[in-house]
Structure 1
Amino acid sequence: MSAPLSTHDGLIEKLLAHLRAEGYSLRIQQWYPARVRQLLNYCDHNGLSIETVRSGDVTRFLRGQYRLSRKRYSKLPPFQKWRQRYTGAINMILRLVHGAWPVPDPPSTELEGFHRDIVEDYDTWLRELRGLHPLTRAKRTKHASQFLTSVGQRADQQGLKDLSVRELDAYLKQCCDGLRRGSIEDRTVCLRDFLRHLWRTGRTAIDLAGTVIGPRIYEHEGIPVALRTEEVRRVLEVTRKDLSPVGLRDYAILILLSTYGLRAAEVVNLRLEDIDWRRDVLRVHHTKTGTYSELPLLREPGEAVLRYVEKARPPSVHREVFLRILAPHRPFKNGSILNCITSARLRAAGVTPQGRKGPHAFRHARAVSLLRSGVPLNIIGDVLGHTSAVATAEYLKLATEDLRTIGLDLPGGISP
């Protein structure tokens, strides 16, 4: 057996093992290997190894396959739509080979390489010296890349030395057009931080961070939106009647949101070992503060999670509690998926909130119910995973009428 054929067979076996582990259908288990063999044959014919394949190589392969298909079939969809029949298989094998896909192409110009080095150095600083969360680092480096690209040819080594306030204003005007005040403030924070890094590393002649001024965002200026108690009850009742695998999963998620006021990321990051069934304890890792809490595992949420795990959770090597019901059976990438789940369940229950429809509305609803029960502020903060009373005070605005009838110890300097 030739070496390339042996290598190809090994990759196909690796692909099949991955497809089986992720719960893909038999049809996909037949379809994907056939598509991947075509790519591997293309690599052999063109003297490529799968390890060196980049996005441009994939595009050339697909255009060649498209031309062959047009010779056989008179009617084909446009190329951009037709290529989707290959996308899943090719992306999967390349992720298995490279660990991630797409792999960044080498810099096409010296300036692009210069920008990439700056952003990588910035990311290292954010990670090693400031210890920022990966998601925060990703956002900061993304905005840093966008800024350098916007400045363009003027953002070379000498151009950064001569960077002017006028160029900063032009960039902010372009990237903030149509954004809300909160989003504009977020952009200006990111730009100031990057400019501070450029000054710290000697890439700019002066510290320009202080010249970037965003809109004034007052502490606690926004009034959170909370669902009413009867609305939460209605959503839970309707979702409980859905006994499909999706329904069992969604009900377990909603009962955790409404009972404990968890953040979306705290739900999707919940792992099987975080539930101590013997001690009836739920361990919650607070993604925003880096701390964790141990909360009593109450009967109703405990039974809902257990029912989902026993009857609906797909077999998987992943330890996260909540997985995709359809293949691939993976955990959710982040908490944003819960916006889709909560919006769909609110709609099914006929509940139309005045504001947001995401999981945070359930968190605010829990805060209101605790306030109306006369629970002390510090206890509410413990339940919600806050590290300061100031953070918990945000929720006082949700029930100002109730605060007139109950006495709470407010942190210094805060009034409802």
Structure 2
Amino acid sequence: MRKIRTTFDQLIFDAGEVLLNKLLRTRNTVIWYRVYWRRMYRQLLAQGISEFTSAVGRQYLVNQFGELDYATLSKRDKDLMKIINVLCEFYDTGTLVSYKERIVLDGPIGQLVNQFVAHLVSLRLKPSTINERKHYLSRFCISLNEKGLISMDQLDKFVILDYLKTLDVRRPTVAHMTLRAIKTFLRYLFEQGILKTDTSLSVPKDNYKKQAKLPSVFKTDEIQQMIGSIDRSNACGKRNYAIVLLAARLGLRASDIAGMRFENLHWEQSTILFNQYKTGRELQLPLLAEVGEAIIDYLKYGRPVSEEPYVFLLARSPFGRIHSSSVTNLVNTAFVASGVNIMHRHYGPHALRHSLAGLLLEQSTVLPVITEVLGHESSCSTKYYLRVDLNSMKQCMLDVPAVPNDFYSQKGGYFYA
């Protein structure tokens, strides 16, 4: 039975020691956790609550975030939720369990998975996608090793179905991503001639449908407030201003802004022409006067002297090209510094892209035009933004039919009391 701790300080000390010695977290991370825990406890004391329990901790999170979708929270709020839940778990169990599963890729099958992962890297897939495939294939390999299977030639649909039975049916996302990882892996082996038959056809289909999350959007005046707060008196500010305008006015992705070359700017035609990093499709957009002037201002008075073919460079030596993470960070910083309310909202370049789509919808722009502006492959992707057009949705509202009076009096009334 868990030992009862008498003080909150003792509780967070013990929890921190488990984080430090068992889960091998750094000492700075543990200090950070304890700062958040003490901050929460001071707020509880102000409410007259002096004893911490897991129920108190979870109610604290409910008071902070209500029923908000976890995916819609900012990174700071997600961290806060995780930190409080860690303390609740420790209070209940007296220990902590790592949720980061060690990836094991041993034996001949593990070598093939590593080869597949290297292939995904060569295709320039997102690191998160590659890690996802590797994670689920690692679990699959462990299962095959336990069954004594050492060759992919021994794999058939019955082995796959037996493995699927071991997955938690309460988590359909896990089953879906597992099937996807196995299917793409088997197809790769067939295409490389490692498998003589296309075993990927034996992988069953599921009816999983991912519900797209509601995008974060900002109003026009909020975006203007953020753009207006950027200090353009220095070289870094001139660069940041031009980058933010490309995201806000043209809806460019961070990867496309970071990868923009001089050859993509067609000044005489007042257009920007480039192949999108995400889709590989060519996209042509108008080079708006406001955007063009901001780029020229940066090139003349802010950009370091360099032979780099990329438009936007780092502000410090050796003045190499910027990357998409830098674009995201500077947009985040601009939003925070502007004083715009970013609570429970994403506030990166993609939020500016979402906001542009919302603005075009408000202006009754037809869907195919928005699809072209955003560079989507089809209007099906653009329909994702329809849910933020509240004005148009209100026009589709139906009146709620009146409830007849005899409904309340049937069977003696008071709902069958």
TM above 0.5: yes
Matched, 1:336 2:322: no
1:264 pairs with 235, 250, 254, which one?
254
The question of 1:305 aligning with 2:295 is answered: yes
Partners of 2:332 and 2:348 within 8 A in 1: yes
**Deviation of residue 308 (structure 1)?**
1.2
| 1:193–1:209 contact (8 Å) kept in structure 2 | no
User: Matched residues in 1 for 2:166 and 2:347: separation?
Assistant: 33
Any idea what the Cα deviations from partners look like across 1:193-235, whole Å, max 9, x if unmatched? Answer: 11443466339996586258695314xx322111111110100
Report how far residue 306 of structure 1 moved.
Answer: 1.0
Percent pairwise identity: 24
- What is the alpha-carbon distance in structure 2 between the residues aligned to residue 286 and residue 181 of structure 1? 32
**Counterpart contact for 1:161–1:205, Cα < 8 Å:** no
Deviation at 1:290, TM superposition (A): 1.6
RMSD: 4.0
1:362 aligns with 2:390: no
AA aligned to 1:236 is I
Residues 165 and 208, structure 1, Cα contact 8 Å, conserved in 2:
no
Q: Which structure 2 residues correspond to residues 35-114 of structure 1 after superposition, within 5 A?
A: none
Give the deviation of 1:395 after TM superposition.
Answer: 1.3
Give the direction of change, closer, same or farther, for the CA distance of 1:283–1:121 in structure 2 (3 Å limit): same
Is the alpha carbon distance of 1:329 and 1:195 closer, same or farther for their aligned partners in structure 2, counting shifts above 3 Å? same
Aligned to 1:231: 222
Structure 2 distance, partners of 1:159, 1:199, is 14
How far is 1:323 from its partner? Answer: 1.6
Distance (whole Å) between structure 1 residues aligned to residue 173 and residue 109 of structure 2:
32
- CA gap 1:119/1:296 in 2 versus in 1, 3 angstroms: same
Among 341, 346, 360, the alignment partner of 1:352 is: 341
**Is the partner of 1:217 in helix, strand or coil?**
coil
**Are residue 151 (structure 1) and residue 146 (structure 2) matched?**
no
Aligned residue in 2 for 1:33? none
Q: Does 1:120 align with 2:110?
A: no
Inter-CA distance 142–396: structure 2 relative to 1 (3 Å threshold) = closer
State the distance in 2 between where 1:337 and 1:199 align: 39
> What CA deviation, in whole Å up to 9, does each residue of 1:143-171 have, x standing for no partner?
34873487359299725455644885599
Q: What letter corresponds to residue 231 of structure 1 in structure 2?
A: E
Cα separation, 2, equivalents of 1:248 and 1:396: 34
Distance in 2 (alpha carbons) for counterparts of 1:300 and 1:205: 54
Deviations 1:71-106 (A, max 9, x none): xxxxxxxxx9xxxxxxxxxxxxxxxxxxxxxxxxxx
TM-score under structure 1 length normalisation: 0.57
Cα deviation, residue 277, structure 1: 2.0
C-alpha displacement of 1:324: 1.3
Q: 2:242 corresponds to which residue?
A: 252
Q: Which runs of 5+ in 1 are unaligned?
A: 1-79, 81-109, 407-416
CA displacement 1:32-86 (0-9 Å, x = unmatched): xxxxxxxxxxxxxxxxxxxxxxxxxxxxxxxxxxxxxxxxxxxxxxxx9xxxxxx
Unaligned runs of 5+ in 2: 1-25, 27-104, 397-417
C-alpha separation in 2, matches of 1:154 and 1:313: 56
Give 1:269 deviation, angstroms: 1.2
Q: Displacement, 1:259?
A: 0.5
Q: CA 1:265–1:313 in 2, change beyond 3 Å: closer, same or farther? A: same
Rounded to whole Å, the distance in 1 between the matches of 2:175 and 2:124 is 22
Q: Which amino acid aligns with 1:222?
A: K
- For 1:135 and 1:249, locate their aligned partners in 2 and report how far apart those are by CA, in whole Å: 28
Report the TM-score, using the length of structure 2 for normalisation: 0.57
Mark the CA change 1:115 to 1:332 in structure 2 (over 3 Å): closer, same or farther.
farther
Task: Please identify, of 349-358 and 295-304, the stretch whose mean Cα deviation from structure 2 is larger.
Answer: 349-358
Q: Deviations over 1:320-340 (max 9, x none)?
A: 11121123322234x233221
CA contact (8 A) 1:192 1:212 kept: no
Q: Evaluate the alpha carbon distance shift between residue 207 and residue 286 of structure 1 in structure 2; reply closer, same or farther with a 3 A threshold.
A: closer
Where does residue 90 of structure 1 map in the other structure? none
Decide whether aligned partners of structure 1 residues 357 and 245 sit closer, same or farther in structure 2, where only a CA change above 3 A counts: same
Equivalent position SS for 1:193: helix
Task: Determine which of 251, 261, 264 is the counterpart of 1:274.
Answer: 264
Alpha carbons of structure 1 residues 187 and 305: separation in structure 2 relative to 1, 3 Å: farther
CA distance, structure 2, for counterparts of residue 142 and residue 405 of structure 1: 41
